Chains A and B, each alone.
Chain A
Amino acid sequence: MNEARRTVLDYAAAGTLAAAVFAAAAGSSVELGVVSAGKPARWVLLTVLGAVALVRAFSFRSEWRLRPSVATGLVALCGLCVASTAWSIVPRTTFERAVSVCVVVGLAATLAGSAALSPVTARRLLGGLLAAAAAIAFAGFILWLVDPSKAVQAASTQYPARFQGFEQNPNTAAMLLAVGMPLAFGRALTAASVRRAVPFVVLLLAFIAEIVASGSRGGLVAGFLALLVVPALASASRRRRFGIAVAVVSTLVVAAWVMTIPRALPSPAVAGPSKPAAVSASRFIDAETVIPLGEEIGGPWWTHTSGAIHRTLFSTSTRTRAWRGAIEQGFQRPVVGYGFGAEQPAFVNRYYGFHSGNPENGYIGLFIQLGLVGLCTFLAAVCLCLAPAIRNSRRGGGRREGWVPAATGAASAGLFLGVSQSYFHAAGNIAFLSFWVALLLASVAGMRAPQEASA
């Protein structure tokens, strides 16, 4: 009876989790009708997920566990986010964002606590995340078949044509697919037979193909680095691990090469920085047409170049210029920052060729929002979550808990994504819920029931 109830609640949680992640993706879809349904749906589904998570936790409360160190790290991080309302440049936004982030992190902790003594629950929850990533990949593919003009961002002089699938931006779906890659890989590695592994290998290849087509360099690198985490923690011989790592790196090289094949449009001939004289009939100059405030730093007016930007696989100069500026901005309020959720108003984009309202780096974003105190608190909370998973794998716990490497890989993908995407503060982001669920599942690795531990 109890087992049947557990199964029902587990599948309810996993299904709602998948639906909530899909709704988050729908909230940033290229289809306007889907967006208007997805935006409210993601909060409704998060509420339903919260209710299911609480029922699951309460029904088997004697099995619910969360390490005190992990709980302390999460409380400190959430407390800091809320407290920053007191010094924020946008107090209302800070409070709203802090509360939404704390609620989602609390929800993820509630789910993870239920899986502490139940490996099957952990596998089901990770299955829910994998199903959501698969659904997004499939939806993007279907949209491409039906209306390629919506599923593909047209080529420009900076970028080749990029697959964006179901989303408004080529980098968006790639974030979730990068988190999905280690989950699919983990299921393939732990499958009971080759035949059972095949669907997960196919899914993994589909994720890689869509990320490559999207041209998302951050997504590609994050996904492949996360793939390396899975065999590193899996229970396998050193030789097998090495073989898998070589295969992963070789596939990354091939994928990166394929990504370079599509070409951007040729730049129109530019005769150098535009001339003030060409601006208006007035003898005075509209400076915005010559030296726009949003493109001042690194712009042609200062560099005396044509300003043409050619994006290659390894070119990062535009982004690093913005990162440098964002770090300088952060150091103007270095201890506790501008307030949680204040990244966009605090970060002023003055960087030539950089088209974003935030620095596109989650760690720099956290530094701007919460200063060094906030960044260190976040990193400490992450380390407290990942340490048990790594410790457990070293002790050979991976044999009993085959899901741990996949969860750790997915959490790692989220951390790697943070290098190229700013999303740690956005509860409605496509990867936010997946990241926290995977991270907190990793944090309960190796927990044992008292009688089991004493035995």
Chain B
Amino acid sequence: MLVLLLLIPVGRWERNRHAANELTGIRRVLAAIGPLDQPSLDAYRVGVGPAMDCLLYKRGSNPFALELCFDGAGRVIEAIDRTGSSPRISSVREDPSASTIRIDLARALALIARMKQPAQ
């Protein structure tokens, strides 16, 4: 019983450490992207995973180099860096409430709406 009780703080410490590591990775991708609305914005996703929307940014010839996914509350819960030979994924998708990173949801949704419109 004592051992089980001792495991509770260990489990909570692990949970917090994991979330902190993933959020660091998400911040790194956010910093690499810069402002959300910029010419390199190249692709989007709507309603994937646990109701996430995503914005994807081009780097060089790679149209999906940097990706940012957020939920309906504007929390950034996943970021992917595809500039290397394999994807570097930072995610708190399994526990969105752990995300402390927010974006302007209205602006992000407006960007997606604009991208979905047919070309003029």
Contacts and interface: CB of A to CB of B under 8 A. Distances in A.
A320 B87 CA distance: 18
A348 B96 CA distance: 13
Contact of B44 (A286, A292, A337): A286
B33 interface: no
B11 interface: yes
| Chain B interface category by residue count | 35 or more
A83 B8 contact: yes
A283 B94 contact: no
B117 interface: yes
Interface in A301-351: 301-302, 332-339, 342, 345-346, 348, 350
Given A79-B4, A333-B14, A348-B93, A286 B45 contact: yes
Nearest to B11: A87
A290 B115 CA distance: 16
Interface string B88-107: 01010111000000000000
B28 interface: no
A301 B46 CA distance: 20
A86 B11 contact: yes
A373 B6 CA distance: 12
A285 B63 contact: yes
Given A281-B119, A297-B87, A287 B11 contact: no
A287 B56 contact: yes
Given A286-B43, A287-B45, A335 B10 contact: yes
Contacts of B116: 280, 282, 284, 286
A211 B94 CA distance: 35
Contacts of B15: 87, 89, 333
A282 B118 contact: yes
Contact of A293 (B10, B45, B94, B95): B45
A317 B25 CA distance: 28
A357 to B, nearest CB: 12
Given A286-B45, A287-B45, A276 B63 contact: yes
A80 B20 CA distance: 25
A161 interface: no
Interface residues of A, number: 41
Contact of B119 (A282, A287, A335): A282
B49 A89 contact: no
A348 B92 CA distance: 10
A79 B1 contact: yes
Contact of A336 (B7, B89, B93): B7
A98 to B, nearest CB: 12
Interface in A67-109: 79-80, 83-84, 86-87, 89
A287 B44 CA distance: 6
B49 to A, nearest CB: 6
Interface string B40-76: 0111111011000010100000011001000000000
A71 to B, nearest CB: 15
A293 B67 CA distance: 11
Interface string A267-291: 0000000001000111111111011
A301 B87 CA distance: 11
A333 B8 CA distance: 13
Interface of B: 1, 4-5, 7-8, 10-12, 14-15, 18, 21-22, 41-46, 48-49, 54, 56, 63-64, 67, 80, 86-87, 89, 91, 93-95, 115-119
7 contacts: A83-B8, A281-B118, A284-B115, A287-B45, A287-B67, A348-B49, A350-B89
Interface of A: 79-80, 83-84, 86-87, 89, 276, 280-288, 290-294, 296-297, 301-302, 332-339, 342, 345-346, 348, 350, 371, 373
Given A79-B4, A302-B87, 11 more contacts: A80-B7, A84-B11, A280-B116, A282-B117, A283-B119, A285-B63, A287-B43, A290-B64, A294-B49, A296-B87, A338-B94
